[in-house]
Homo-oligomer: A and B are copies of this chain.
Amino acid sequence: MNPTNEQLVSLFERMTLIRLMEERLRADAGAGRLPGAVHLYIGQEAVAAGVCANLDETDWITSTHRGHGHFLAKGGDPKAMMAEIWGKRTGICKGMGGSMHVADLSKGILGANGIVGGGFAIATGAALSAKLSGNRRVAVAFFGDGAANQGVFMECLNVSTLWQLPLVFVCEYNHFCEFTPTVTVTAGEIADRARAFKIPCEVVDGNDVVAVWKAAAQAIEWARSGKGPAFIEAQTYRIQGHLESEDLFLAGGKYREKQEIEEWRKADPISRLAKLLVSMGVRTAVQLDDISTKIAGIVEDAVRFAEASEPADPELTFEVMFAGQKP
Contact = CB atoms under 8 A, between A and B. Distances in A.
Nearest to A197: B188
A231 to B, nearest CB: 12
Contacts of A195: 192, 196
Nearest to A162: B187
Contacts of A154: 151, 153-154, 193
Contact of A150 (B151, B161, B196): B151
B187 A161 contact: yes
Given A192-B196, A196-B193, A196-B195, A162 B150 contact: no
A188 B195 CA distance: 10
A161 B152 CA distance: 18
A198 interface: yes
Contacts of A192: 195-198
Contacts of A188: 158, 161, 196-198
Interface in A144-194: 149-155, 157-159, 161-162, 185-189, 192-193
A150 B155 contact: yes
A152 B149 CA distance: 10
A159 B153 CA distance: 15
Contacts of A196: 188-189, 192-193, 195-196
Contacts of A193: 154, 193, 196
Contacts of A198: 188, 192
A117 to B, nearest CB: 9
A155 B161 CA distance: 19
Nearest to A190: B196
A154 B155 CA distance: 9
Identify which of A152, A185, A193, A198 gathers the most chain B CB atoms within 10 Å of its CB.
A193
Identify which of A149, A150, A151 gathers the most chain B CB atoms within 10 Å of its CB.
A151
A162 B162 CA distance: 28
A157 B197 contact: no
A295 to B, nearest CB: 41
Contact of A162 (B151, B159, B186, B189): B186
Contacts of A152: 151
Interface string A44-68: 0000000000000000000000000
Contacts of A158: 149, 186-188
23 contacts: A149-B155, A150-B155, A151-B151, A151-B152, A151-B155, A154-B193, A157-B187, A158-B186, A158-B188, A159-B187, A162-B185, A162-B186, A187-B197, A188-B197, A188-B198, A189-B196, A192-B195, A192-B196, A192-B197, A192-B198, A193-B196, A195-B196, A196-B196
Given A154-B154, A158-B186, 14 more contacts: A150-B151, A150-B155, A151-B152, A151-B154, A151-B155, A153-B154, A161-B187, A162-B187, A187-B197, A188-B196, A188-B197, A192-B195, A192-B196, A192-B198
